[in-house]
Amino acid sequence: MKSLLTFAFAIIISIPLMSQGYEVGDYATDFKLRNVDGKYISLTDYDDAKGFIVIFTTNHCPYAVAWEDRIIELDMMFKSKGYPVIAINPNSAEAYPADSYEKMIERADEKGFTFPYLHDEKQEIYKMYGATKTPHVFILNKDSDKFKVEYIGAIDNNYRDAEKADEHYVQDAVRSLLAGQKPDPDFTRAIGCGIK
């Protein structure tokens, strides 16, 4: 009996060590990160939200830039329906001067971001989520006071040309959630810039 308990305990302990970032079905951590307007933002600030489209993205990455307008579009499409976009820049300004907080402010202004663009200054949040590249999307659904991961992956299936994308993964996933269904697919891949 004792060994069984020890075994169970060992499993519980090893779970956080084993998992590198989230998988669909996991609960995501909240955060408190600085927005480009200087204010700090947390998921719990959004009382009316049903969930979130969390996107790790950057200034410098050509893939992130290619998808930028579609990120704005997603926010405009789904913010009013309860799924706002929260963009997070996970890069260090030392590795990429173009991704500094000051440059983020410039970029958000230039492009007219309609969503918060947060700075993962300590580079802790992206690691907890398991983001490996930019852009990397995590769709969260509010589950009482927790945030359940419902989708991980790409925005759509053509980074180069929005017109030619014929699978709109994030749009479809949010629509499924709005209809009370599970996203399918709930995991996709795309090329992105490694986070540094």
Partner 1 sequence: MYKYFLIFVFLAFTGQISSQEVQVIGIDELKEELSRKADSVYVVNFWATWCKPCTEEMPDLLRVEKEYKDKNLMLILISLDLPSMKDTRLPKFMSEYGINSRVLLLDDPDANKWIPMVDESWSGSIPATLIYAPKVDYRDFHEGIITYSELKETVYPLIRNKKQ
The site for partner 1 (CB under 8 A) is made up of 62, 95-96, 132-133, 136, 153-154, 157-161, 164, 167, 188-196
Helices 101-111 & 62-78 angle (0-180, nearest 10)? 60
Nearer to partner 1, 67 or 84 (CB): 67
- Please name which of 88, 32, 34, 38 lies closest in space to residue 58, comparing C-alpha atoms: 88
CB of 196 to partner 1, least distance (A): 6
Nearer to partner 1, 34 or 93 (CB): 93
Nearer to partner 1, 32 or 160 (CB): 160
Give the CA diameter of the chain. Answer: 63
CB of 2 to partner 1, least distance (A): 37
CB of 99 to partner 1, least distance (A): 11
CB of 83 to partner 1, least distance (A): 22
Nearer to partner 1, 11 or 95 (CB): 95
Nearer to partner 1, 55 or 193 (CB): 193
Our CA angle for 176, 142, 145, nearest 5°, is: 165
CB of 1 to partner 1, least distance (A): 38
What's the CA gap between 26 and 68, in Å, rounded?
27
46 φ, ψ to 5°? Answer: -95, 90
Exposed, middle or buried, 40 (CB in 10 Å: 0-12/13-18/19+)?
exposed
